[in-house]
Structure 1
């Protein structure tokens, strides 16, 4: 019994150490490729900037949230956004609500369904100088999407906006 116990303990100890290191590494490296953006702590407690509906292939409903710096810039119309501004776009399946529709005379109620992803935009004019001062990240179920082509497409799409928007699609809805 002793001959089996010592090697078993050694192997399980090594495996446990490797697993712990892998989990810790994943937790600290949960960042997007290209821009190295992570989910900011407490972003779900940020203030609402606006709500949006994306039709077409996405067909989602979005809550656009901002940290204090972003919200202040939106409210005051400050463009370009100051460094430190961060915007979170939380997307959900846009679905009808049979429960709500039962109350109305005709189907008309839509609600946020399952979450699809969270996108984060962070303003740092020095760090992200090559992308107009913005870094981007996309997360599904809290995990950074590692598709470099997807993340590179963020800047390409945002550059289609006029310079007065500072590469930001949303506007403030008081």
Structure 2
């Protein structure tokens, strides 16, 4: 192996090691470079929500340990290293569940639609309130730059005292 090939191999290994050490894996989202955090499905539940209207979905909001502690303690702004995950599912009625009730009333999470991540790094994302965003469908980053650019445009409409986060902790 030539010195050039050895150097190239070392650079690749270091990049892979850095990504693994950060816990962020897979394809990066456009603009912010956010990746799917390893093990995010094991994070603690922050809250759930139902988005009516055009989306009409149900959402589980999860947080890594830094996010969970900040939500519980009311720490704002959120500390660097906070990662918030929003898992969205089709909001649908459950005919199976409704069979046991006197009237249709049961709604459940249907097929998944997407997963979004908000990552706090006040230096890296200084231009967007310290937050970087990513959206993924079936584990693949949504390549739409206009969609990803719209994340902070929407979040910045919130009261700055929320640190541009929609969710509230539901104990």
Pair 1:85–1:102, CA change in 2 (3 A):
same
Return the offset for 1:29: 5.9
- TM-score, length-scaled by structure 1: 0.84
Aligned residue pairs total 148
Larger Rg: 1
Structure 2, unpaired ranges of 5+: 1-15, 17-24
Query: Displacement of 1:34 after TM fit?
Result: 0.5
Q: 2: CA distance between counterparts of 1:163 and 1:127?
A: 19
Given candidates 51, 55, 59, the residue that maps to 2:52 is 55
8 Å CA contact 2:26–2:36 kept in 1: the answer is no
Alignment correspondent of 1:65: 62
Distance of 1:38 and 1:139 partners within structure 2: 9
CA distance in 1, matches of 2:109, 2:152: 27
Q: Distance in 2 between matches of 1:98 and 1:91?
A: 21
Q: What is the CA–CA distance in structure 2 between the aligned matches of 1:29 and 1:35, rounded to whole Å?
A: 14
SS at match of 2:166: coil
- CA–CA distance in structure 1, aligned partners of residues 118 and 160 of structure 2: 17
Could you say which residue in structure 2 is the equivalent of 1:81? 78
Structure 2 CA distance for aligned equivalents of residues 167 and 39 of structure 1:
21
Which aligned runs of 4 or more in structure 1 are off by greater than 4 angstroms? none
8 A contact 2:43–2:65 mirrored in 1: yes
Cα RMSD of the aligned pairs, angstroms, is: 1.1
Gaps of 5+ in 1: 1-23
Residues 139-150 of structure 1 mapped to structure 2, 5 A cutoff: 139-150=136-147
Could you tell me how far 1:110 is from its partner in structure 2?
0.2
Structure 1 residue aligned with 2:6: none
